[in-house]
Amino acid sequence: MRRRDVLKLAGTSGIGMGAAVAFAGCGTPEREFHIQSPVDIPEDTVTGLDAWYASICQDSGDGSGVIVRVKSGRARKIEGNPDYPLNRGKTSARTQAALQTLYNPDRIPNPMVPRRKRDSSRYRFMRWDEVLPEFQEKLSAASNGGIVMITEPVNGHLGMILERFTQNIGARWLTYEPLEKAAVRQASSLVFGTTRVPQFDIANTSYLLSIGGDFLEGGDSPVHYGRAYGNFRQGAGRSRGTFAHFDTHLTMTAANADEWHPINPGTEGILALSIAHAILDGRAVPAALQPLTGGEGNLEAYAAEQVADATGVPAEVIQRVAHDFAAAPTAVAMGGGSAAGHTNGLFNMTAIFALNLLKNNVRQKGGVLLNAPSPLEDIPAEAPVTSFQDWETFLNEVDNGQVPQVLLVHGANPVFGLPGVLNAASVLGRIPYIVSFSNVLDETTALADLILPDHHFLESWGTSVPPLGAEYATLGIQQPVVRPYHQEFDGAAGTRAFADVLLGLAQTLGGPLTEALPWESMRDAIRASVDELQARGEGSVTSDDPEVFWLSVLQRGGWWVPAESVSPAAPDLSSLQVAEPDFSSDAQAYPYHLVVTPSVLLGDGSGSLAASPWLQSTSDPMTTGVWGTWIALSPKTMEALGIQENDIVRLTSVAGSMLAPVYPYPGIGEGVVSVPLGQGHEQLGRYAENRGDNPLRILAPVVQEQTGALAWSATRVRIAATGRRTRLPRIEGITAPVQMPDEKTFQITNES
């Protein structure tokens, strides 16, 4: 008897159950035990050496440039691409952990259909040629406006293909972004005259003022800003920069600041105007900023003493920060985070960004740099984002009987992310034919009538126009670095690239669709664009030979050219309304502000990051919590409510309630509750399922007035003990501190 037979026997016999349980966890798929003799002796290549391939990481959220070490056909390690303008060799935990989304044991290996409609517990594997004809038929029948496509906001070639596909087949294209950044984008447009969010040149500034801008853990690219931040503090040939930060609670960004001041939620714009008032110091408000005065003509109402109570920031702090900001040789003001998620998010962001106009630092080193447009005209740098208001309208329409015939979903998980009161699952469930292209079973995919699993990004072609890296106009190229893990092999159907499926449909459906999308595969589409770049004869790679150019571009991970100076429109704040924040409900019944915070590891919970054990078990940088959700409360609040650490409490908003253990956090105001995002999945495989709770579900559906975005910071909650306790897994505070014999102990006290 061989050991393989033993394992097989153990799996099937009752006697072997114990052994099956003992060994199932260590199981490697049978085909992983194969090693191939190639037919021919490879000439010119030494086999058995590491190969590093350049590509783009889609798990990082910003499209970081990466190089991947591949040996024996397996991706073994991911590092940053040292050449790539966005991240210059740096990576994040998410990028490092992308190997685990590639080799995730819960990936969907083949096309599949549920055995019973809307039942996500049992599926039947199918072959591609069995499912594609019916799918095409349904699309053709619905092509007169009965198709809805839902994706994540996506740029680059996939963005272009989606735009042309939906336009020519007559489909409605909705994109889903859980924590909408509409306020940041619109404020950029008003203040800086460009719709792309600018790059705040932290690396070269001497004074950084951030109001809610959580750039080290959230925002456009924590990796880019993390690198810039290193330069800001310790860069060669410059003195250490100073960093003042205002936020509702002590985020990781706040913990890195020289001074952090808690601020009352929603008053970030008022604080910014107060700082502006102090900077102006009696001088007249410049004409461009007049709309911020709300018709008063001056900012006297925002004098530091006047707003100290409302904002919770002492008047002398406001005056000192304003003085430091004005006096520094270079200074930059940035905002974002929860400040942009209030009903008055646009006002907050505009007021904060306008401080840069007072400093006159736009397009200056150490100030605000404007990002270059996409290097190719037909390849979008920005994805269109469907606002929350439009999502609400769409769901209402479906609810009221205007049901589309076909729903296509890729990369977005609205059932998980939309506020629970919208009942997205049951409303979308009315659509008779739902097709998901996800390669993991997420909450939205669980509704699908047909699942056509996409390749992982390390197995497929794509491009990315990075959100930052203003010095260059960049096209990053994502190439397959390994063969698909689930490929057509031994009768298995395997996965297929989403873009290739769309392009295949465009070829067979004919008409204007074929004309708009003439390529047979994503690789061909990218090759055509790269040939266009080659003809320019400039940039990071040049060659007279198209083939050499193509290979060199793949080797470098993309192509970039120094950006031409972007000339923005003049600031135009005339449409801005000065606004106070509005909250979901009255302060009596719901006394606490809920601040949901994107996790630096798991993001906002969309995508399949929670299915990575590495990310799950990496400590949250501030609380050291792992594998769960917690509710951070100030010790004073806990005392007032009679709640202990690790007590499970219920947060209730007007929209619903959630449960999680309490984590005592001194870095948070008394009236504020903070909950990390990323957990609470009902699906998503063995590592993510039924772990923690999802605060997005209990957000009140409050809309930002001027942008139509979800005001995701505007929810108030009440807290109630459940009488139950649990132990939140974390690293900090689980053993008593130990006095090392040869180390002196310093105790920090309030006494001077």
Partner 1 sequence: MTAGAMRITIGALVVVFGLVIMGAVAWLTLSAEGPEQPIEFMHSVHVEQNDIDCQFCHRNVETGAEATIPAVEQCMICHKVINGENPKVTNPLHVAEIAKLQAHWENREPIDWVRVHVMPDHVRFVHAAHIKAGFDCATCHGDVGSMERVKQVRSLNMGDCVGCHRENNAPTDCTICHR
Residues in contact with partner 1 by CB under 8 A are: 2-4, 6-7, 18-19, 22-23, 28, 32-42, 46-50, 71-72, 74, 76-77, 99, 103
Q: Please state the φ and ψ torsions of residue 403, each to the nearest 5 degrees.
A: -90, 125
Least distance to partner 1, CB of residue 484, Å: 17
Nearer to partner 1, 39 or 734 (CB): 39
CA distance 356 to 181: 20
Least distance to partner 1, CB of residue 51, Å: 11
| 128 closest CA partner among 511, 437, 520, 404 | 437
Nearer to partner 1, 69 or 730 (CB): 69
Nearer to partner 1, 183 or 458 (CB): 458
Q: Is 661 helix (H, G, I), strand (E, B) or coil?
A: strand
Q: Please state the φ and ψ torsions of residue 19, each to the nearest 5 degrees.
A: -65, -40
Nearer to partner 1, 46 or 236 (CB): 46
Nearer to partner 1, 45 or 752 (CB): 45
Least distance to partner 1, CB of residue 75, Å: 8
Which amino acid appears at position 523 of this protein?
R
Within 10 angstroms of residue 615's Cβ, the number of other Cβ atoms is: 26
Least distance to partner 1, CB of residue 483, Å: 13
Nearer to partner 1, 92 or 653 (CB): 92
Least distance to partner 1, CB of residue 430, Å: 44
Least distance to partner 1, CB of residue 74, Å: 6
What sign has the CA pseudo-torsion 260, 359, 381, 82? negative
Q: How many CA atoms lie within 13 A of 749 on its CB side?
A: 5
Least distance to partner 1, CB of residue 496, Å: 23
CA distance 174 to 249: 33
Residues 6+ apart with CB under 8 A from 483: 73, 459
CA distance 697 to 419: 5
Nearer to partner 1, 490 or 564 (CB): 490
Nearer to partner 1, 74 or 691 (CB): 74
Least distance to partner 1, CB of residue 742, Å: 24
Q: Please state the φ and ψ torsions of residue 639, each to the nearest 5 degrees.
A: -65, -45
CA distance 102 to 497: 14
Strand pairing category for 51-57 and 64-71: antiparallel
Nearer to partner 1, 3 or 283 (CB): 3
Least distance to partner 1, CB of residue 626, Å: 19
What DSSP letter does each residue of 245-295 carry, written as one string? EEESB--HHHHTSSEEEE--TT-HHHHHHHHHHHHHTTSPPPGGGGGGGTT
CA distance 563 to 568: 14
Cβ distance 665 to 632 under 8 Å? yes
Nearer to partner 1, 99 or 292 (CB): 99
Least distance to partner 1, CB of residue 234, Å: 23
Nearer to partner 1, 128 or 614 (CB): 614
Least distance to partner 1, CB of residue 39, Å: 5
Nearer to partner 1, 97 or 328 (CB): 97
CA distance 117 to 514: 33
CA distance 692 to 242: 37
| 153 closest CA partner among 472, 360, 380, 319 | 380
Nearer to partner 1, 76 or 636 (CB): 76
What DSSP letter does each residue of 62-117 carry, written as one string? S-EEEEEEEETTEEEEEEE-TT-TTTTT---HHHHTHHHHHS-TTS--S-EEESST
Nearer to partner 1, 71 or 115 (CB): 71
Residues β-bridged to residue 474: 560
Least distance to partner 1, CB of residue 1, Å: 9
Nearer to partner 1, 79 or 645 (CB): 79
Which amino acid appears at position 198 of this protein?
P
Within 10 angstroms of residue 591's Cβ, the number of other Cβ atoms is: 15
Residue reference for tokens 């008047």: 315
Residue reference for tokens 């008409």: 511
Least distance to partner 1, CB of residue 12, Å: 16
Least distance to partner 1, CB of residue 262, Å: 40
CA distance 476 to 221: 15
Q: Is 738 helix (H, G, I), strand (E, B) or coil?
A: coil
